Structure 1
Amino acid sequence: MSHSVSVLPYLVKFAPKTPHQFDGYINVHSFDLDHTLIRPKRPKATFGNAPHDWKFMEYDTGPAINKLVEILKADTHACFVIFTNQGGVLADPSTSKSFLNFEKKILLILKAVEAVDSGEEFLNRLWIYSSTKKPAALSKKIPTLNSKPGKVNKHSTSGKSNLKPLAALILLSEKFDEMRKPATGLFVECNRDLKEILSPTDGPVNWKYYCGDAAGRSTDFSDSDKIFALNTGVSFKVPEDIFNKK
């Protein structure tokens, strides 16, 4: 397998096992996943219903993967990052059906990429960061630490004040919120990883753009991709800006 998988309750990361050794700096081309790079096989479906239910998006220039390989060949410093919200994927526990299906889907996508021209080289430059579903227990309102003095917290099992578990719950809940676009947690995590790769040369990480379909247009379901780019300070592009240009 080309990538290692790191799983936290609020974050799933696929990183290349043998990342490309960049000389001096990295140019990051970043993308949303669903309805930007892939879509369900069924024409009117919003999300796939099984790990195999996907195909590469088709644009004027052909399948999305073809354009990505073209970018790779034109930019020797190119790195590719996918940021995706997966609100239906529960990663805690990592044995959940939704997580196992998502993992299998990503592995199938990576396998398909490997089969195209320059696919292996592309995989060595590809990172995937996904936010996941907040468990129902954390979706409920969690009392604050400075609530009424002396009040026994409902999360306490001892009948006494139990601030450490409560603080941990609050921090964990906040992590889920931080990782979900348009919040910037996925970007921060990725930027840190890429800088570690460059640490021997101390070169810059140049974020070229973030490309996504949720741009707040009349036909879009939201503007979350556009706001994500705004929040991270990265130039925003809709898929047509990238994939319909020859």
Structure 2
Amino acid sequence: MECVIVSEDGLHDPIILPENTPVVLGRGPGTRITDRKCGRRQVELVADYRNKSVRVKQLGMNPSSVGGRSLEPGLEATLREGETLHVVNGLYPHTVRFAPSSPSGAKGQQQAADLAPDPGHQEAQEEEEEEEEEEVMRPRTPGGGEDSPEPARKRPRTENPGHGSSSGDEEEAGGGPIPEVAGQPWPQDKWIKETKLLVFTKKGVRARSKFAGFDIDGTIITTRSGKVFPTGPDDWRILYPEIPRKLKELAQDGYKIVFFTNQRGISRGKLRPQDFQAKAEAIVTRLGVPIQVYVATGLGFYRKPMLGMLDHFREQGNEGVKIDLESSFYVGDAAGRPANWAPDRKKKDFSCSDRLFSLNAGLTFYTPEEFFMGWKKPPFQLPEFDPDTLGSWQKCVTVCEAALRDGKRVAIDNTNPDLESRSRYTDCARKAGVPCRCFLFTTCFEQAKHNNRFREMTSTVLGHVPVNEMVMNSCR
């Protein structure tokens, strides 16, 4: 007997799954999947010839699904003949087939061996793939929509990790201490260049399950000249004398130190990338701690407060070690503080992007003065408009009902193509005694497909994730 996993999109040849042998599918040449939302190690498959089934375990950060049932990292499901495995975010459908052995078995066995997890070769393979990405410089495709993973939920935090406390003894929701996971030290300094993103990893950096994130300008450094903007690559100094010591303490407490910085001047031609790279290396050297640095060089999905840099770090920058967001935190100066928020601080913050970055990610947030100097929490103001992607219709209904009770207006941004899905919200309006309007867009099916492709081709930022044929047919 022979078991094969078949790409319904025809991306690759069928791959044999040997009995009781783990085979890993993900982004790479074996599957020809290039989507950055798909991890290199996305799902693990183990065939059970006796029961004609395949055990599917999700390894990647973004959700896979089996027979319409969504998975999360670490969860498993059983795939049977006639059911569909979507590798990530409802895309890349695969089916499993059991049949008598075929003459092509040797080729399939070799394919399976190539995809099987091999600890002895994984590190070298990942380094080779990273070097390929550095040369190709592929653009990143933003995710989103109902299939995107639900944002992490924060727990109340009463201690500041920068002032002597450690998150190591916190407990997960299921009970028990959060395991501390660490990788091997990074062997050498390395820059990776992608479209609108630069990533620097200092020699000695270790993968960790928890991280301490920091902005750079106004958080770690300020200008030596005293001017708002630096006059050149060397116009900088460490903002507070306490910073190097605090960062070393965090590293000793098991945190990975990661910088996330917006540097739009690079894409605007006002800052040479090599100048900023040299500056970043000098800052890290001055701090004396192995640090990983993410640089958003222009507008788009990587730029804070969007989560592109954090997604890249979680999916590709931590050597496969899963990040525990609840044990991690972020520090930044773009915190939405008003003018005169402190006696000697006359100017208001230029933006709220660092605080919003933390809010979007589900991270505990501190200002530099809170974290490094022990100051009390300052006043701040969030933007008036707060779009909220809730991830499920149940949560949408709950928030809708609460908003109507508060006398607010509500707009539901979704397709809601059938009577049942629409009635969830028309019922809310009826119970609240408020008018409700539903907008019907009268495009034909062919025009909808055209619009889908047109939006994918003409996006001016980082591309549009196409709606797959299965979803479009079900809506039709």
TM-score, normalization by structure 2: 0.35
Give the percent of matched residue pairs that are identical in Structure 1 and Structure 2: 30
Partner of 2:284 in structure 1? 110
**Matches of 1:217 and 1:108, distance apart in 2:** 30
State the shift of 1:17 in Å: 4.0
Secondary structure in structure 1 of the residue aligned to 2:245: helix
Q: 1:217 aligns with which of 323, 337, 340?
A: 337
Structure 1 pair 204–210 and aligned structure 2 pair: CA distance change class (3 A)? closer
What CA distance in whole angstroms lies between the structure 1 residues aligned with 2:367 and 2:258? 16
Contact 1:52 1:108 in 2 (8 A): no
Q: Mark the CA change 1:42 to 1:209 in structure 2 (over 3 Å): closer, same or farther.
A: same
Deviations 1:109-152 (A, max 9, x none): 12212xxxxx3xx21xx21101013xxxxxxxxxxxxxxxxxxx
Equivalent in the alignment of 2:265: 88
Partner of 2:319: 196
Q: Residues of 1 paired with 2:368 and 2:205: CA distance?
A: 26
RMSD value over aligned CA atoms?
2.4
The equivalent of 1:15 in structure 2 is 201
1:66 Cα deviation (Å)? 2.1
Amino acid in structure 1 at the alignment position of 2:238? F
| 1:182 corresponds to 2:365 | no
Question: Relative contact order: is structure 1 or structure 2 higher (C-alpha 8 Å, sep ≥ 6)?
Answer: 1
1:68, distance to aligned residue in structure 2 (A): 1.1
Quote the Cα distance in structure 2 between the aligned partners of 1:220 and 1:19: 32
Greater mean deviation of Cα atoms: 77-86 or 188-197: 188-197
How far 1:18 moved relative to its partner? 4.3
2:222–2:238 Cα contact (<8 Å) kept? yes
Judge conservation of contact 1:84–1:131 (CA < 8 Å) in 2: yes
Unaligned residue ranges in structure 1 (runs of 5+): 114-118, 134-175
Aligned length: 179
1:47 maps onto 2:229 in alignment: yes
- Segments of structure 2 that go 5 or more residues without pairing to the other structure are 1-186, 339-347, 376-476
1:229 is aligned, of 358, 361, 377, to: 358
Match of 1:69 in 2: 248
Shift of 1:179: 0.6
SS in 2 for 1:88: helix
Contact 1:7 1:91 in 2 (8 A): no
Distance apart, 1:52 and its partner CA: 1.1
Tell whether the 8 Å contact from 1:194 to 1:205 is kept in structure 2 after alignment. Answer: no
Q: Is the 8 A contact 2:335 2:349 kept in 1?
A: yes
Equivalent position amino acid for 2:367 in 1: V
**Measured at CA, do residues 91 and 80 of structure 1 come closer, stay the same or move farther in structure 2, by a change above 3 Å?**
farther
Structure 2 Cα separation of the partners of residues 37 and 238 of structure 1: 11
1:98 equivalenced with 2:272 (yes/no): yes
On the 8 A contact 2:334/2:352 being kept in 1, the answer is yes
Q: Which has the higher helix share?
A: 1
Amino acid at match of 2:272: S
Matches within 5 A, 1:89-168: 89-90=266-267, 98-113=272-287, 119=288, 122-123=289-290, 126-133=291-298
TM-score by length of 1: 0.66
3-state SS in 2 of match to 1:226: helix
1:204–1:51 distance in 2 versus 1, CA, 3 Å: closer
User: How far did residue 178 of structure 1 move?
Assistant: 0.3
CA distances 1:40-59 after superposition (whole Å, capped 9, x unpaired):
1012x12212221111012x
